[in-house]
Amino acid sequence: MADIVVIGAGHAGCEAALCAARMGLDTLLLTLNLESVALMPCNPSIGGTGKGHLVREVDALGGEMGLAADDVTLQSRMLNTGKGPAVHSLRVQADKRVYQLRMLNTLFAQEKLTLRQGEASEILTKNGAVCGVKTLTGDVIPCRAVVVCTGVYLKSRIIIGEAEWEAGPQGLMPATRLSQSLLDLGFTLRRFKTGTPARVAENSIDFSKMTPQHGDEPPTPFSFMTDRPLENKIDCYLTWTNEQTHEIIRQNLHRAPMFTGAINGTGARYCPSIETKVTRFADKDRHQIFLEPEGMGYPEWYVQGMSSSMPEDVQWDMYRTIPGLEHCVLTRLAYAIEYDCIDPLSLTPHLGAREIPGLYLAGQVNGTSGYEEAAAQGIYAAINAALYCKNEAPFLLTRDQAYIGVMVDDLTTKGTDEPYRMMTSRAEHRLFLRQDNADLRLTERAHKLGLASDERMRRTEQKERETAELIRRLENAGLAKPLRQPGAALTLPEGWEYSAGAKEQAEIQVKYEGYLQKEMAQIRQARAMEEALIPPDTDYLSMDALRLEARQKLDAQRPVSLGQASRIPGVSPADVAVLMVWLKRQNSQEK
């Protein structure tokens, strides 16, 4: 018996399991293979534009990914520093295998958490609510809530040229039975696809023909809890494709699964394969390629930018046209993987199944792509599964509070027809939702849930106090005004001692004061719409003043608020106005 069963120990499942156990629930983490806990089957990096924000928010909530990333950092870079702080995004090269071991040890050391290797084959319900999980080997595990974090494994299929077979990533076994259980529970399943490049043997690479890419000095940590200085340990290398590469691809497009129809799954627009890039951007005579280390002292390198599912012979030819890879040995071929995932429109804004109390889903199974997107959903879904078990009100993050709120709202209100990747452009309030203030936005709420530690809360409060004091002193000393000048940077007078976090906050809050005030005004407006709650049993179909399409969409999706209703595709501003009037009348009648 467990309170919560988490299915799958990928990036979503690890965060979900730790979160549920840390909130005091007896938790079982059931996964296909304990060797692949926290596996990074694709890029050996954590973070990036928009993704870095999610990692910081997971950290601010008391999650693990940020801390683990700091422990395995090989190289750290702050992206977009040429632009404003809203889009500054941290990205680190991570030692994949050390990351897995680090996460595995953290999971095993966690009180109230048990790990087991096994395949979940069925989710059991009683009176329409979750009551247990059945395994392939016949065990029935009673529980009160389940968090499904099955990633890219549901009925997964590998495609390389004309070859295709049932398998998970990296030769691991697929999950073959749970898809049917989800269908039986009423979910709509789709086929999505993603792909990865080949890996090359380090001793077959000529790095002298590439441009080293160094990390930032000093490296910036992901976690607000990391005090120790981090170190850049290894470089990445930049090289390029060329006309020869492109010609080989063009000559073999008739054998490319992406174009022969062998791949049915929908791929990620923002992680295109090289064959897609060569056809989609035919005018470009070269594409950037980054050689990234898979681990310290580990003899394989990742070829970022060369994801593909071209036949083996074509892969050898095209990779060997790239400067520095002329004699490369492909230790693992590039491949595409197709898998089942659900339609996230069937989820609540808390990542619960609309029709099945106690069932939550997180990660790639919800139609997203990325370690960071998965980890963020994992902790969020588990918070709500834990609160469900405690019969407490759910935990909601809205678009004005967190990138997690933006992602979950996009998924559960607009849905997605392709693997959803987080980007800063998705967040309308991105000047407020920066990565540097995730702790100030989220830690207090996580502390109230018993998830963020007292020490984390103490640090957040100290940062807040220091920041307010520093801004006051800058104003009083007449130093705030010059700081607002374009290009001005914060320099403190002799003897003014403040933490790096407080200095960063003070500089941003002073320099962007006007923009932040404007954004806060928009947030107040948006918040009013989010707080205008709509009764769950509202009879939209009888509201003649609404257009037919809106009635049908609202009835199907049952938005929790006016704000969410306004974002449903097919619901016009005029429909929202009708709803607003109806809601006002409802509220006045109840008084």
Site residues (vs ligand FAD, CB under 6 A):
7-13, 30-33, 36, 41-42, 119-120, 149-153, 169, 175, 178, 194-196, 271, 337, 363-364, 369-371, 374, 421
How many whole angstroms separate alpha carbon 45 and alpha carbon 48? 8
For ligand FAD, give the closer residue by CB, 56 or 447: 56
Compare residues 8 and 501 and give the one whose CB is closer to ligand FAD: 8
> Shortest approach of ligand FAD to residue 156 CB, angstroms?
8
CB of 422 to ligand FAD, least distance (A): 9
Q: How far is CA 472 from CA 85, 173, 307, 318, 412, in A?
A: 21, 59, 51, 60, 42
What does the alpha-carbon distance between residue 577 and residue 589 come to, in Å, rounded to a whole number?
19
E strand or H helix that includes residue 376: helix 371-389
Do 385 and 28 contact (CB within 8 A), yes or no? no
**CA dihedral of 197, 375, 432, 446, whole degrees rounded to 10:** -170
User: Closest distance between ligand FAD and the C-beta of residue 217, in Å?
Assistant: 27
Burial status of residue 493 (CB atoms within 10 A of its CB: 0-12, 13-18, 19 or more):
exposed
Q: What sign does the dihedral 421-427-431-432 (CA atoms) show?
A: negative
Closer CB to ligand FAD, residue 358 or residue 378? 378
The least CB distance from residue 65 to ligand FAD, in Å, is 11
Q: Where are the alpha helices (DSSP H) in 418-453?
A: 438-448
For residue 338, the minimal CB distance to ligand FAD (Å) is 10
Per the rule left: phi > 0, alpha: psi between -120 and 50, beta: everything else, 363 is left
CB burial of residue 106 (10 Å; 0-12, 13-18, 19+): middle
In 61-95, which ranges are continuous DSSP H helix? 65-71
β-sheet with 120-126: strand ranges across: 120-126, 129-135, 140-142
Regarding beta strands 189-196 and 199-201, do their DSSP bridges make them parallel or antiparallel, or are they unpaired? unpaired
Q: Closest separation between CB of residue 239 and ligand FAD, Å?
A: 19
- Identify whether the C-beta of residue 316 lies closer than 8 Å to the C-beta of residue 324: no
Return the number of the residue (8 or 66) whose C-beta is nearest ligand FAD. Answer: 8
Question: With respect to ligand FAD, which residue has the nearer C-beta, 178 or 198?
Answer: 178
What percentage of the chain's residues is helix, strand, coil (to nearest 5)? Answer: 40, 20, 40
Of 106 and 522, the one with the shorter C-beta distance to ligand FAD is 106
In the complex, minimum distance from the CB of residue 30 to ligand FAD, in angstroms, rounded to a whole number = 5
Shortest distance in whole angstroms from residue 170 CB to ligand FAD: 8
Burial of residue 250 (number of CB atoms within 10 Å: 0-12, 13-18, 19+)? middle
Residue among 48 and 358 whose Cβ is closer to ligand FAD? 48
Residue 316 beta carbon to ligand FAD: minimum distance, rounded to whole angstroms: 19
416 versus 460: smaller Cβ distance to ligand FAD: 416
Nearer to ligand FAD, 89 or 364 (CB): 364
Q: Residue 85 Cβ, how far from ligand FAD at the closest point, in Å?
A: 24
Tell me whether residue 41 or residue 84 sits nearer to ligand FAD (CB atom).
41
For residues 262 and 259, give the distance between their C-alpha atoms in angstroms, rounded to a whole number: 8
Can you spell out the DSSP letters for 323-361? TT-TT--EEE--EEEEEEEE-GGGB-TTSBBTTSTTEEE
CB of 280 vs ligand FAD, minimal distance in Å: 16
Closest CB to ligand FAD among residues 141, 178: 178
